[in-house]
């Protein structure tokens, strides 16, 4: 269906998602930490047992499920038991991925609600709970998309494996796979680019509004400490499963009559 799923477009998508993530984090950072937004039961039992953030995310996913967002291979819901699509299914003829159920959104949400928010927000409470939670939903969805794009990166590496990756996959050794897909130079380029962008975007904002700064290095470090490692985790998970699938299908010991 979508050209955005083709492997040659992965790099472009990842670079463009940097803006989406930086904008989302800057938007969230205008509000305080606002801890009540993340406390289950804080607003009574009206929110289906969720925090305000969780409830808005759930409601958003319900809406988006109805218009078939989560049928797309580059989209991953945070919640299960979402409604069926109201729209007819579409084919994703450009989808290069093998079928998989890899979804680390639980971990992404936890990382966001604790580590990332601690770093991007000022402590305290400004009572802008609704606006805060709306920004959270945008941030979480952008982070999830960026991190799970690791599947497309991994598929590309699987199709053109380096020698160390080939060996690591043959051994089914997660640690070696992680080492084989890690390219320090590429990571440094990403971090430098994100840092430069963040500097531009936050500087402009700070000049215009005298808002307390969200330091560009913080955005860079969120990439370094969370986005890149989680993205690589998705790559490793995908590659290990991909290898098992491939062996089952094409390997000499494979048996198709399960």
Applying CB under 8 A, which residues contact a second copy? 1-4, 12, 15-16, 18-20, 23, 26-27, 30, 43-44, 46-47, 52, 55-56, 59-60, 62-64, 66-69, 72, 86-88, 126-128, 130, 133-134, 138, 193, 196-197, 200-201, 204-205, 208-209, 211
- Chain centre to alpha carbon of residue 55: 19
Instruction: State the minimum distance, in angstroms, from the CB of residue 170 to a second copy.
Output: 37
User: Do 40 and 50 touch, CB atoms closer than 8 A?
Assistant: yes
CB-nearer residue toward a second copy: 86 or 185? 86
User: Do 41 and 216 touch, CB atoms closer than 8 A?
Assistant: no
Instruction: State the minimum distance, in angstroms, from the CB of residue 112 to a second copy.
Output: 19
CB-nearer residue toward a second copy: 193 or 224? 193
User: Do 155 and 242 touch, CB atoms closer than 8 A?
Assistant: yes
CB-nearer residue toward a second copy: 204 or 245? 204
Residue position matching structure tokens 């998508």: 13
CB-nearer residue toward a second copy: 2 or 173? 2
Instruction: State the minimum distance, in angstroms, from the CB of residue 55 to a second copy.
Output: 7
Instruction: State the minimum distance, in angstroms, from the CB of residue 138 to a second copy.
Output: 7
CB-nearer residue toward a second copy: 172 or 196? 196
User: Do 100 and 241 touch, CB atoms closer than 8 A?
Assistant: yes
Instruction: State the minimum distance, in angstroms, from the CB of residue 254 to a second copy.
Output: 36
Inter-CA distances, 87 with 63, 66, 69, 160, 195, Å:
12, 7, 10, 37, 40
User: Do 215 and 131 touch, CB atoms closer than 8 A?
Assistant: no
CB-nearer residue toward a second copy: 151 or 242? 151
Between CA 226 and CA 143 the distance in angstroms is 10
With a CB cutoff of 8 Å and minimum separation 6, the contacts of 7 are 96, 152, 155, 156, 159
How many other CB atoms are there within 10 angstroms of residue 211's CB atom? 13
Instruction: Provide the token pair at 164.
Output: 């160390």
Instruction: State the minimum distance, in angstroms, from the CB of residue 97 to a second copy.
Output: 18
Between CA 92 and CA 18 the distance in angstroms is 25
CB-nearer residue toward a second copy: 85 or 161? 85
Instruction: State the minimum distance, in angstroms, from the CB of residue 130 to a second copy.
Output: 5
User: Do 80 and 62 touch, CB atoms closer than 8 A?
Assistant: no
Residue position matching structure tokens 């609704």: 130
């Amino acid at each position: 269906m979508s050209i955005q799923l083709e492997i040659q477009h992965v790099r472009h998508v990842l670079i463009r998602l940097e803006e989406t993530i930086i904008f989302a984090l800057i938007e969230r950072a205008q509000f305080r930490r606002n801890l009540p937004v993340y406390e289950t039961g804080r607003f009574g039992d009206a929110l289906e047992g969720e925090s305000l953030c969780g409830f808005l995310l759930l409601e958003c996913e319900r809406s988006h499920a109805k218009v078939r967002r989560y049928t797309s291979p580059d989209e991953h819901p945070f919640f299960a038991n979402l409604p069926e699509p109201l729209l007819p299914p579409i084919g994703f003829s450009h989808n290069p991925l093998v079928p998989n159920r890899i979804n680390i959104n639980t971990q992404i949400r936890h990382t966001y609600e604790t580590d990332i928010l601690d770093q991007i927000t000022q402590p305290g409470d400004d009572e802008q709970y609704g606006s805060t939670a709306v920004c959270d939903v945008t941030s979480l969805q952008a982070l999830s998309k960026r991190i799970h794009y690791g599947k497309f990166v991994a598929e590309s590496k699987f199709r053109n494996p380096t020698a160390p990756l080939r060996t690591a996959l043959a051994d089914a050794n997660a640690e070696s796979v992680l080492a084989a897909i890690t390219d320090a130079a590429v990571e440094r380029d990403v971090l430098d680019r994100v840092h430069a962008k963040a500097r531009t975007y936050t500087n402009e904002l700070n000049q215009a509004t005298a808002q307390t700064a969200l330091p560009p290095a913080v955005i860079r470090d969120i990439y370094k400490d969370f986005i890149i490692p989680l993205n690589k985790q998705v790559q490793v998970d995908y590659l290990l499963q991909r290898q098992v699938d491939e062996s089952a299908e094409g390997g000499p010991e494979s048996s198709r009559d399960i």
